[in-house]
Amino acid sequence: MGDDSVGRKLVVFYCCRLPPSNTYSQERLLGYKKNLKALYLVHPSNTVKVLWGIFKHIVSAKFSRKVHYINFLEELKRELKTDRIEIPAPVKDLKDNNNGDPIPRVVRETVDFLKKNALDKEGIFRRCPKAETVKQVQDLYNSGKEFDYSLYPDMHIHALILKTFFRELPEPIMTYDLYDIIINIQELKEQPDRVQACKELVCHKLPVDNYLVLQQQWSCCIK
């Protein structure tokens, strides 16, 4: 697939297009790992992260330094010339798994629940419900199953589910790239300047999908 930003040759594997693992030789597939200069794992699953967390202590430190997680394609553009790579739709747009909706189901449903049931309550994000009940609701979301909200009327459950979702994101909703800009905004002395800088940040520098998710989240915090 051409070269990367420093002229090294690229080999791309699309896991979404690979046949069942028992139909091809994995030894041949990974036969060139000794000559590997860098390995970029795009959209790594939690399973991949857990397994790598275990095995990276076994493989050589030299190889470990070659492995990089890429959570967003924008990050990949900074490393490679992605305009030369044919990126399949399942990789390019993970929203297909959510019927094209950029707002994850867990965010939309918990926010809707809190807007209907909790806007007049104080401290909904400070109380911790039973861990066992929270785990049940998380399992239902992770499995894609529907569930009866009348069985989980405690608003603190949904508040904690929402808070946990954002806490466990691989990258903050405001992104690492915007960190320095956010810090600089805090150093502005005049309030109108800070307001204008915040508006510029959110409306023009934040990725579109991040903006939509942030807008949905914010809507449950105001009346």
150 vs 188: CA distance, rounded Å: 47
Q: What is the pLDDT of residue 100?
A: 55
Q: What is the pLDDT of residues 177-190, one digit of tens each?
A: 888 898 999 888 89
pLDDT band at 223 (very low <50, low <70, confident <90, very high): very low
Give the predicted TM-score (pTM) of the model: 0.53
Q: Are 23 and 17 in contact (CB under 8 A)?
A: no
Q: Which of 170, 190, 194, 191 has the alpha carbon at shortest distance from 182? A: 194
Q: What is the pLDDT of residue 77?
A: 75
Q: What is the mean pLDDT of residues 18-34?
A: 71
124 vs 210: CA distance, rounded Å: 24
Residue 33 corresponds to which tokens in the numbers above?
A: 């790992």
Q: What is the pLDDT of residues 115-173, one digit of tens each?
A: 888 888 888 888 888 888 888 888 887 777 777 777 888 889 888 888 888 887 777 88
3-class SS of residue 219 = coil
Q: What is the pLDDT of residue 64?
A: 82
Per the model's pLDDT, the better-predicted residue between 21 and 192 turns out to be: 192
Q: What is the mean pLDDT of residues 59-74?
A: 78
Q: What is the pLDDT of residue 222?
A: 45
* pLDDT of 34 above 80: no
* pLDDT of 220 above 60: no
Query: What is the set of domains in the chain, with CATH numbers?
Result: 15-92 (no CATH), 105-218 (1.10.555.10)
Mention every residue, 6+ apart, whose C-beta is less than 8 A from residue 1: 10, 11, 12, 84, 85, 86
